[in-house]
Structure 1
Amino acid sequence: MEVILLERIENLGQMGDVVRVKPGFARNYLLPQHKALRSNKENLAIFEQRRAQLEAENLKRRQEAEAVAKKIDGMSVVIIRQAGDSGQLYGSVASRDIAEAVTAAGTSVNRNQVVLDRPIKMLGLHDLRLRLHPEVSVPISINVARSEAEAEMQAESGRYISADEMIDAEEAAEAEALAAAEAAEAAEAEAEAGGESDEETA
């Protein structure tokens, strides 16, 4: 089926292009979403009449999308999920979860704007794109972890942190805290002993 594109469609064409697409894609997506018209003389004439208006609307939407893109370029959002010791999630992170996390971080996006080839099924850092407009995409990072502490460690190291590494880090932090507490006690005891010897001298 041939259609006239009313906006740029990635991997298909620019506004005004007449392209051949599968009938199902046209009927189920392009035509109902008002992204294209069936290609015939009448619709070509309608498109030419509306071209200036469509281009003006497209420019306005693109400028709005570019302003939003500047705010969220390189954004990293944390999504907390349950997972096994191997890092395999119990379930997956889908485009809806990502859209909700980005919206919660302060920028409203919908799941159709999340470019996700397949659901995320592993813990770790995942890079993907938000398509805010047919001509404006922005990269973001998704940090999927079991806890906020694990997410912080992953963000610092730039990679997935295994359960064993997490336990080692917690034990190291506890040992460090214990050593610091013991050092503080020893310093306090030394200060007290110093004070007593001063009194004896006096």
Structure 2
Amino acid sequence: MQVVLKETVYNLGGAGSVVKVKDGYARNFLIPRGLAIPATSGAKRHIEHIQRLAEKKRATEIKDASDLKVKLEALSLTVEAKAGERGKLYGSVTSVDIANAIAEQGIEVDRRKIILDHPLRSLGEHTVRLKIDPEVSAEFKVVVEPSADSDVQEDLSPIEEMVT
């Protein structure tokens, strides 16, 4: 069945797109939720209207994403985590921890949009990427510091002397 998408549907298409989907998917999911309408000859005018609205909406989304990118890149995030003697974390700093740290700064982000190239398992400064929009992503620094109850020692030389 061919349908016209009213909104952007993940892994299917953008608003105003004419796509072919299984009948059940169209009848039971897309159409009842208002995400699509059946592609008929009368829907062509509706398609053009939807496309004009989608272009305006997309322009505002990109502008908002760019504004958020500027805010995020200016942020200095600090996350505290419990660490061992050599500065290695017990566990790791996750995207949930980073999203919570960003929320404390007054900016709400979806944790699923935070992209970690590798797990943050050590103290120090790390670069994290946030995919705000398919076209806009921001990179910012996250500093992982030991929490107050950590076993981190600033001077590691006594430990090295005990080992030798």
TM-score band w.r.t. shorter chain:
0.5 to 0.7
| In 2, Cα distance between equivalents of 1:139 and 1:130 | 6
Q: CA deviation at 1:60?
A: 1.0
Deviations along 1:12-65, one digit per CA (max 9) or x if unpaired, are 98776789xxx9xx9xxxx7xx9x869x845x9565441111111111122122
| In 1, Cα distance between equivalents of 2:113 and 2:136 | 11
Amino acid of the structure 1 residue aligned with 2:97:
D
The correspondence of residues 26-175 of structure 1 with structure 2, limited to 5 A, is 41=39, 45=44, 47-147=47-147, 163=152, 166-167=154-155
Instruction: From the two aligned structures, give the one with the greater helix fraction.
Output: 1
Question: Matched residue of 1:133: which SS?
Answer: coil
Equivalent pair of 1:76/1:141 in contact (CA under 8 Å): yes
What is residue 162 of structure 2 aligned with on the other side? none
| In 1, Cα distance between equivalents of 2:126 and 2:59 | 31
Q: Figure out how many residues of one structure are paired with residues of the other and give that number.
A: 139
Structure-2 change in CA distance of 1:54 and 1:97 (3 Å): same
Task: Could you tell me which runs of 5 or more consecutive residues in structure 1 were left unpaired when the two chains were aligned.
Answer: 149-162, 169-202
| In 1, Cα distance between equivalents of 2:18 and 2:125 | 40
Structure-2 change in CA distance of 1:89 and 1:48 (3 Å): farther
CA RMSD of aligned residues (A): 4.0
Deviations along 1:112-154, one digit per CA (max 9) or x if unpaired, are 3322345422222211112222222111111112148xxxxxx
Instruction: From the two aligned structures, give the one with the greater strand fraction.
Output: 2
Higher relative contact order (CA 8 A, sep 6+): 2
Task: Could you tell me which runs of 5 or more consecutive residues in structure 2 were left unpaired when the two chains were aligned.
Answer: 157-164
Structure-2 change in CA distance of 1:47 and 1:94 (3 Å): farther
Equivalent pair of 2:94/2:119 in contact (CA under 8 Å): yes
Runs of 4+ off more than 6 Å = 12-19
TM-score (norm: length of structure 1): 0.51
TM-score (norm: length of structure 2): 0.61
Deviations along 1:49-94, one digit per CA (max 9) or x if unpaired, are 4111111111112212212222221533111101223433212211
